[in-house]
Each structure stands twice: as structure tokens, then as C-alpha cells.
Amino acid sequence: MELRALLPRLPRGRPRLRPRNRLAVKLIALLAFAGPGLVAANAGNDAGGIATYASVGARYGYDLLWMMVLITISLVVVQEMAARMGAVTGKGLAELIREHYGPRWSLFSTFAVLLANLGICISEFVGIGAALGLAHVPTQVSVPIAAVVVWLLVVRGSYKLAERVFVAMTIPFFAYPIAAILAHPDWGSVGRAVVEPKIHLTNAYIILFIATVGTTITPFMQLYLQSAVVERGLGPEDIPAERAEVATASVFANLVAIFIIIATGATLYVHGDHTVSSAADAAKALEPFAGRFAEALFAVGLLGASLLAAAILPVTAAYVIAETFGLEKGIARRPREAPVFVLTLTVLLLVGAAVAMIPGVPVIRLLIFVQVVNGALLPVTLFFVWRLSRNEELMGEYRNGRVFDAVAAVTVFATGALSLALVGLTLAGKA
């Protein structure tokens, strides 16, 4: 074999002893920072998320847009706490829960994360199959290939490579704004809808409202973000930069969601097509009103989002298991060095892809089940995130400030209550 092929890339050129232009350095640093926050936030716009946003737009037009503003603020608050904790403590959320709340809570959340992530993982592979299905690639071909690609990237690639690919996978998200523009919405009413709350007091509206909150703020996002911040080796000095990254990423991710609502609101809602049950449905439904190009764009966005989440979910589950049991962890470990980490990843990908390939998988029932598990887990995760990040012993000078803490408390309790309400409604068979 050619020796050069084995060699790692080495820095070329002479090292600099004198500083480069400071502005250039800062700009490069900023770009390089498109990292864990962006990955975490965008993984929330996965197959399930797109399906929910599309239904929101198809069913209620722009009437729920005002809520996206509140959800964005909540997401920023929650993700900021998780990122800050990772930077200050150097430990993942699962590890901190274990250390501060003992093995019972820790095992509960681990088990719930595993179950929920497995469920979402299946739905991502269904999403991948559906997106490529629009291009007439059979599921039995697309899903196994996607699973192998994701496995290789996560297990055999390096952390930096994996993160770069994850970030690159968010590029297809720009398809949604374009699809929204192609749908020719009435921008005036869009603007009004953002600032003016319109509440329908119907069961369906309330359930869709809660489902949107649940799909935008999901436990795996906090767990992944904190572990990724730790793995990236960020410290307290990186907090301002990471805070900026988390905030912009959350806003970006939710803008994408808003554009999905606008795209479907301007077409399906206006033309009286109020039912959308999956993201691929939404793409197909868009075609008659906004053209084949819009349909293709929608499919590309769905593919990117599903691939991204299909990679992040098993990684998060593996992080959580490794942290709970005190095992070695990390992306791109060789199987021998972190066997449980790699095993968790492999099992999740394998089961996720295999189930997604079974013809006639009851996707909707599966998603409802996932929603219940996530709904039960979210209040727990959020509560721990909030309690730990205001803990003076743990966080020292980086603990929540007073005003922030109050906002965080409101966010945590409101989101937690909504999430439990959804669990109740689902179990009662109303959803």
C-alpha cells in the first residue's frame, strides 16, 4: 500500500512566531465555532419535526407562528444552560445527574433516552426512505446504505470530520426558505401572525401546539449538546462564544421551522388541503401549488435533517450510557477501546434501519409512542438542567444569574407541564 495513504494530514508550511491579523483570526474562530449548538438545534428539525410543522401550516395556516417566537426563546434558554454546564464542569448531563441525584434517576433517564432515541431513530430512517423514495430509490436500498454511511462516519471518522459533516448536513435546510418563497405567501399576514397571537380553543389546536413544543425542545438536544461541548474540550473561557453559537443556532433552526409552516400555510392551508401526516406527504402535497422544484427542495431538506438526526441520536444514547455507567466514551473510538459506546451506536442504527425497512411499519403509532416517552423524559431532563445550572457548588460564578434563573424556571415548568399534558392526552387516546 502507498505509505502516503496511511499518513495523517500534517500541518504544512512554517509555523508562525508572530501573530496574524487579529480580525482574520477572530473571523476564522467564529466560523470554526459553527459546532455542537448548530448540530443539536438542527437535529430538532428532523423527520418528525418537519411533519409536525407541515401539519401546523396545513391545518392552521400562520395562526401558530407567534408561538414559534416563544419556543425559540425557551430553546435558547435551555440549550444555553446545557452548553454552559458542559463548559464549566467538563462533564456530560447524564454524568452530573448520576453524581447529584443518584443511580435511580440516572438509570430512569438513561433507559428513557435509549427507548426514545431508538424510536426517533426508526422515524429518521423512515424519513430517509421517504425522501429518497420521492426520487424513486427503493427503501430497501436507501436505508441500509444510509445506515452504513452514518456508522462509518461516527465510528471510523474523527470527531472533527463527523462534526463538519453534521454541520454540512444542515445546508439542505436552506431549501425550506426557498420553498416558502416559491409558495408565494402573503408576507403581510405572515408578519402580523408572528406578533399577534391567534388562539383556537379546540382540542386539535392545543395538541398541535404542545406537539410543536415537544418536537422543538427534545431531551436528546440537551444531552447531545452538553456531551459534545465536553468532547470538544471547551472551558469556561469559551462560554461567551458558545453562548452566541447556541443562540444563533437555535434561532436559525427555528427560522427553518417557521419557513416550513409558511410554505405549507401558503399552499396547503390556502387550498383547503388540511391533512398532512408525514414530511414526505408535505413534499408531495406542495407540488401542485409550488411546482416540482419546491417538492424536490422539501425532499432534500428532509433527507439532510433525517441523516443528521440519525447520526446524532445513536451518538447521544451512547454518550448517556457511557456517562451513566462511567465507561469510556467518545466519537471515533475504535470498537476495542470503547466497546459499549460502539455497541450502543451499532444496535441503535441496526434496529432503527431494520425496522424502517419493514413494509407497512405503523409510523404514526410509533411516533405517538416516542412522543409519550419523550414527554415523560423532558420534564425530568429540563428540571435537572435547571437545578444543576443554578447550583452554586457545581457552577460557582457561572451559575444562573437571578433574572435568567427566573426565566429558566418559567420555561422549565411551562414546557414540562405542557409535555406532561401531552402524555396525559395521548394516553387518554385524545391525541
Partner 1 sequence: MAAAETLVFHLSLVVGGELRDAAGERLGRVDDLIVRLGDEDYPPVTGVVATVAGRQVFVAAEQIVELGPGFVTLIAQQLDLQHFRRRPQEVLLKKDVLDRQLINLDGARLVRANEIELARLEGWYRVVGVDVSLRGLLRRVMPRALAGRVEPRAFLDWASVEPFTGHVPTVRLRVPHPKLAKLHPAQVADLVEAASHNEGEEIMAALASDPELEADVFEELEDSHQLEFVEDRSDPEIAELLGRMETDDAADLVLQLPEERREDVIGLLSPFQARRLRTLLGYDPATAGGLMSPEFICVYADATREEALERVERSSLPAESLSWVYGMNTHRRLRGGIALADLVRTAEGERLWNVLRPVQTVRADADLEEVARLMTDFDLTVVPVVDEEERILGIVTVDDVLELVLPEPWRRRFGLLGSD
Task: Give the interface size with partner 1 as a residue count (CB under 8 A).
Answer: 50
Min dist CB 297 to partner 1, Å, is: 33
Distance of CA 11 to the CA centre of its chain: 34
Residue choice 359, 393, 403, 428 for contact with partner 1 (CB under 8 A): 393
Q: State yes or no: residue 31 binds partner 1 (CB under 8 A).
A: no
Q: State yes or no: residue 365 binds partner 1 (CB under 8 A).
A: no
Min dist CB 99 to partner 1, Å, is: 5
Min dist CB 155 to partner 1, Å, is: 9
- Please identify, using beta-carbon distances, which residue of 184 and 334 lies nearer to partner 1: 334
Q: Which stretch binds partner 1 (CB under 8 A): 62-70, 267-275, 333-341, 367-375?
A: 333-341
Q: State yes or no: residue 231 binds partner 1 (CB under 8 A).
A: yes
Residue choice 337, 339, 392, 430 for contact with partner 1 (CB under 8 A): 337
Q: State yes or no: residue 20 binds partner 1 (CB under 8 A).
A: yes
Residue choice 26, 28, 30, 103 for contact with partner 1 (CB under 8 A): 103
Min dist CB 49 to partner 1, Å, is: 29
Min dist CB 334 to partner 1, Å, is: 5
All residues at 6 or more sequence positions from 105 whose CB lies less than 8 Å from its CB, including other chains:
97, 380, 384
Pick out residues in 133-172 that bind partner 1 (CB under 8 A).
156, 158-161
Residues 356, 139 contacting (CB under 8 angstroms): yes
Q: Which stretch binds partner 1 (CB under 8 A): 97-105, 128-136, 206-214, 413-421?
A: 97-105
Q: State yes or no: residue 10 binds partner 1 (CB under 8 A).
A: yes
Q: State yes or no: residue 4 binds partner 1 (CB under 8 A).
A: yes
Min dist CB 16 to partner 1, Å, is: 5
Q: State yes or no: residue 272 binds partner 1 (CB under 8 A).
A: no
Residue choice 138, 235, 339, 401 for contact with partner 1 (CB under 8 A): 235
Min dist CB 392 to partner 1, Å, is: 11
Q: State yes or no: residue 237 binds partner 1 (CB under 8 A).
A: yes
- CA distance linking residue 163 with residue 302, whole number of Å: 19
Min dist CB 320 to partner 1, Å, is: 14
3-state secondary structure the chain: CCHHHHCCCCCCCCCCCCCCCHHHHHHHHHHHCCCHHHHHHHHCCCHHHHHHHHHHHHHHCCCCHHHHHHHHHHHHHHHHHHHHHHHHHCCCHHHHHHHHHHHHHHHHHHHHHHHHHHHHHHHHHHHHHHHHHCCCCCHHHHHHHHHHHHHHHHHHCCHHHHHHHHHHCCHHHHHHHHHHHHCCCCHHHHHHHHHCCCCCCCHHHHHHHHHHHHHHCCHHHHHHHHHHHHHCCCCHHHHHHHHHHHHHHHHHHHHHHHHHHHHHHHHHHCCCCCCCCCHHHHHHHHHHHHCHHHHHHHHHHHHHHHHHHHHHHHHHHHHHHHHHHCCCCCCCCCCCCCHHHHHHHHHHHHHHHHHHHCCCCCHHHHHHHHHHHHHHHHHHHHHHHHHHHCCHHHHHHHCCCHHHHHHHHHHHHHHHHHHHHHHHHHHCCCC
Residue choice 192, 200, 232, 243 for contact with partner 1 (CB under 8 A): 232
Min dist CB 20 to partner 1, Å, is: 6
- Please identify, using beta-carbon distances, which residue of 12 and 402 lies nearer to partner 1: 12
Which parts of this chain interact with partner 1 (CB under 8 A)? 3-4, 6-20, 25, 89-91, 98-99, 102-104, 106-107, 156, 158-161, 230-233, 235, 237, 325-326, 328, 330-334, 337, 393-394
